[in-house]
Structure 1
Amino acid sequence: MATACSGSGEDDTSAKSKPSEVSAAPAAGVVAPAKVEVIAELTGCKPKIRIDADELRQGLCHTDKVDFSITTFPEEKYKDTWLESASIYGGTYLVGSRWVVAAKPEMLEGFRAKLGGTIRELSGLGPSPAPSTS
């Protein structure tokens, strides 16, 4: 038992040092997977929670530059299902471990520098939208 406990302590020490070694996006080690509120804080906003369900949580952020949404998922499978559904509409998203940020494409690179993740462009697979009457 003593060996197992001491081995665990060594693993904890090495795990604690790893986030400081991340160079592309230092905050990403802290964020992913994260809560909506943690991601929002790193992007400079206080989110208004719009959806709080078993499959996902979604918060809306409003800043001087842009409005955007942050969606987090308890498991990767829920994120994958969400992205598959979103692909019908198309759009560009910043995707991380169990989270997605939806914003104007020109804002996503700045968010990526703070959060990590991958910018993904989803092609619309559904029919073209009908002309708006409003």
Structure 2
Amino acid sequence: MSQQQPHARSNRRPLSRALGPRAAALAGALVALPLVTACGGGDDATPAAAGRTSTPSRSAAPAAGVVAPAKVEVIAGLTGCKVKIRTEADELREGVCHTKKGDYLITTFPEEKLKETWLESASVYGGKYLVGMRWVVSAKPEMLEPLRAKLGGTVRELRGIGPSTSAS
């Protein structure tokens, strides 16, 4: 399966003009779906939370007090990754980070309401996301807390539709 390379564009066309606002949000969710659901589990020898006895607050800021801005390249830099931009539209920008611990997708939005629309569309698929002001990180659930420690934000679980597939 070959990967398509992103095209450099001098004039960006709004995704909503081509597809409509709901379809644009759905398209954004569909872009994230393969990354979130198809990531294989890579076992790390030393988990990031090893030795901790207390559970950190899910919405606490990182220890350094840094809160990531809504720019894909800056967020990627804070996580130690060189990002590859794969979607660039007026409504959102997405970049993928490939690391030894796993791949993750960084999506940024020019307005908070566009992020909320994207999350509403993604809720159809369920899953956990790291959510900040005008940005979302999609990754394997075990990667979210270490990323939250670097970026801040809140780990948000989206319900999804249909029967639950998780075993208790």
Larger radius of gyration: 1
Separation in 1, partners of 2:85, 2:109: 14
**1:122 and 2:155 aligned:** no
Please give the per-residue CA displacement for 1:75-125, whole angstroms capped at 9, x wherever unaligned: 001000000000000110000000000001111000111100000010112
Higher RCO (CA < 8 A, seq sep 6+): 2
* 4+ residue runs over 4 A deviation: 22-25
Change in 2 beyond 3 A, CA 1:69/1:23: closer
**1:91 and 2:127 aligned:** yes
Separation in 2, partners of 1:122, 1:37: 26
1:68 is matched with: 104
Separation in 1, partners of 2:62, 2:83: 27
Q: How many residues align?
A: 103
> How far off is 1:27 after superposition?
2.0
> How far off is 1:25 after superposition?
4.6
3-state SS of paired residue (2:130): strand
**Identity among equivalent pairs (%):** 71
- Normalization by structure 1: what TM-score? 0.73
3-state SS of paired residue (2:101): coil
Change in 2 beyond 3 A, CA 1:73/1:23: closer
Separation in 2, partners of 1:87, 1:23: 26
